[in-house]
Each structure stands twice: as C-alpha cells, then as structure tokens.
C-alpha cells in the first residue's frame, strides 16, 4: 500500500498533568473512511483535536502527506487541506447560513466559492432553502449539515467529523451518514469519523479503530469489528 495520507505515531496528549492519550498509532489512507469508536471520555475527540493542533501532542508525531504537522498551529493545519466539523457543530449562530459557508471557504479566499456553494447545496438541499436564515435558528440536524457543508467549502483532502450524530433523531442520523458515504464515494474524499454511534459508524467504515482510556485497543475493517464479539458486547448493545 502507498504512503498513508495521515499517520499518527506514539502520540501522547496531556491536559495539564492528566494524560488523555497514552501513545496512539493510527493510519488514514487516501480515499478511506476511517472510524474511531469508543466510550465517553475515551479520548476520541482529543485525538481528533490533537491532529488539528489544539491541544498539541506532547510526544509522538503526526504526519500529513509526508509532512510533520505535530507542532503547527491549528489555522495553518487548516490551510493544508484538512477540514473539521467540530463536536457540538459550532456554527456561527448569528450569521446567516450563507455567511457560515463563506467562512468555510475563507482558507482559499473564496476562489471556488460559487461552484462549491452549488455543490454543497446539491448535497444538502435543506441548506439551499435556508441560505439567508441565521444559523442559530436552524434545527440541530440542519446545523450539523451546515457544519459539514462549511467544512467541505474549503475543498479538503481530509475531512474530520467529530460526532456528527450527536443529539440528532435517528432519521437525520441516517441522512447524515448517507451523505458521508456519498461524499466519500463520489468525490473520493478521505474521512476520519469519530463516533459514539458505533453501529452506523462501523457499517460506514473502510477501517476502524476502537479506543479505550486513551489507547487504541483494536483495529480492523468495519465489517471485522462489527462481527467481533467484544465490540458487540461493549458498543453494539441492542443492534
């Protein structure tokens, strides 16, 4: 296999004295959907944020397209073609949907803005109806769509999605996951997905990792993990 798009090697992240990640190794290859599942507080979001440089890893190395990005500030990482839909969506509430999308395209100076606007509006027709509306008045699902759309506006090579199903109705969750699959299949976009909703996430994943207490304990293809009795017992209760 060729060189991975993103490699994480021995990354340790601390919040003050508390160690949140105890040496994490992970690879993301171009064109994959890689899923990270785990319980609350396992360190999933911390890993995603560490890739994005906030907080920075105290030890270890993160390489993206062969370049060491461990010590880069967040906004510079965003300029390298990594985009994120953060946990809790974090849309700009008092700005319109349109302006939110403009902010998403700020990295490349609105160069492809019109084209990309059309594209995300095709992916999320709901947003097209609401372009003039204030983002804070959207429903939770629409805000999540906006957060993903905003991330897509920068034409990223790697899309980081932190808990896109958080607090959403099951039918919306399915829509969101369908969109992720579509973006991956049609655009060949590489996706790194952090999820608690393990069943959906694993069905979507090319490969997946399981994180427990800041360590990767298991990895494999999505199907392998779905079938794994331990994973079933721990994360797939009820499916």
Partner 1 sequence: MQASLFSRALKEAGIAAAIAFGLFALMLGVKTEQSLNNEMVLLPRPGLLATVVGLVFLGRFLLTLHAAWRGEPDTTKRAQSPFMLKVEKYGLPLAIGFLVAYPLMVLASVGPAGAIKWIDNFGIQILIYIMLGWGLNIVVGLAGLLDLGYVAFYAVGAYSYALLATSDPVKMFMAEWIGPGFWAAWSFWICLPVAGILAAFWGILLGFPVLRLRGDYLAIVTLAFGEIIRLVLINWIPFSGGYAGLSGIPRPSFFGIPFNASETGFAATFGLEFTPIHRTIFLFYVILALALVTMAVSMRLRRLPVGRAWEALREDEIACRSLGINTLNTKLTAFSLGAMFGGFAGAFFAARQGFISPESFVFLESAQILAIVVLGGMGSLVGVVIASIFLVGGVELLRELEFLKAVFGDGFDPSQYRMLLFGMAMVLMMLWKPRGLISVREPSVFLKEKKRVAGDLVKEGHG
Instruction: With contacts defined by CB under 8 A, name the span among 56-64, 130-138, 212-220, 230-238 that binds partner 1.
Output: 130-138
Does residue 46 belong to the site contacting partner 1 (CB under 8 A)? Answer: no
Cβ proximity to partner 1: between 103 and 236 the closer is: 103
Radius of gyration (Cα) for the chain, nearest Å? 17
CA angle 168, 220, 228 (to 5 degrees): 75
Q: Of residues 7, 92, 157, 234, which one binds partner 1 by CB under 8 A?
A: 92
Does residue 166 belong to the site contacting partner 1 (CB under 8 A)? Answer: no
Instruction: Tell which residue, 213, 227, 230, has the closest CA to residue 18.
Output: 213
Does residue 170 belong to the site contacting partner 1 (CB under 8 A)? Answer: no
CB contact set of 232 (below 8 Å; sequence gap of 6+):
226
Q: Of residues 59, 110, 221, 223, which one binds partner 1 by CB under 8 A?
A: 110
Does residue 7 belong to the site contacting partner 1 (CB under 8 A)? Answer: no
| Residue 81 CB neighbours (<10 A) | 18
Instruction: With contacts defined by CB under 8 A, name the span among 28-36, 131-139, 172-180, 231-239 that binds partner 1.
Output: 131-139
Distance CA 196, CA 38 (A): 6
Q: What is the closest distance, in whole angstroms, from the C-beta atom of residue 232 to partner 1 in the complex? A: 34
Distance CA 66, CA 69 (A): 9
Distance CA 205, CA 195 (A): 11
The residues that touch partner 1, with contacts defined as CB under 8 A, are 52, 54, 74-76, 78-79, 83-84, 86, 90-96, 98-99, 102-104, 106-107, 109-110, 114-115, 117-118, 131-132, 134, 150, 154
């Amino acid at each position: 296999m060729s060189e991975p798009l993103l490699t994480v090697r021995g990354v340790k992240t601390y919040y003050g004295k508390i160690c949140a990640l105890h040496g994490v190794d992970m690879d993301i290859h171009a064109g994959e959907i890689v899923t990270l599942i785990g319980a609350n507080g396992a360190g999933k979001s911390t890993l995603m944020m560490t890739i994005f440089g906030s907080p920075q890893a105290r030890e270890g190395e993160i390489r993206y397209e062969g370049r060491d990005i461990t010590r880069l500030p967040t906004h510079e990482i965003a300029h390298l073609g990594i985009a994120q839909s953060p946990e809790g969506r974090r849309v700009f509430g008092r700005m319109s949907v349109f302006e939110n999308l403009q902010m998403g395209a700020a990295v490349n100076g609105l160069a492809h803005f019109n084209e990309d606007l059309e594209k995300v509006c095709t992916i999320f027709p709901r947003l097209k109806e609401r372009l003039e509306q204030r983002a804070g008045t959207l429903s939770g699902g629409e805000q999540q769509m906006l957060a993903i759309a905003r991330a897509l506006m920068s034409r990223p090579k790697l899309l980081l999605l932190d808990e896109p199903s958080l607090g959403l109705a099951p039918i919306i969750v399915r829509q969101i996951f369908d969109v992720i699959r579509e973006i991956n299949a049609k655009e060949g976009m590489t996706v790194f997905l952090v999820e608690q909703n393990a069943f959906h996430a694993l069905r979507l994943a090319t490969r997946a990792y399981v994180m427990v207490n800041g360590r990767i304990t298991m990895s494999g293809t999505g199907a392998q993990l779905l079938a794994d009795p331990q994973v079933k017992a721990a994360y797939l209760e009820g499916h």
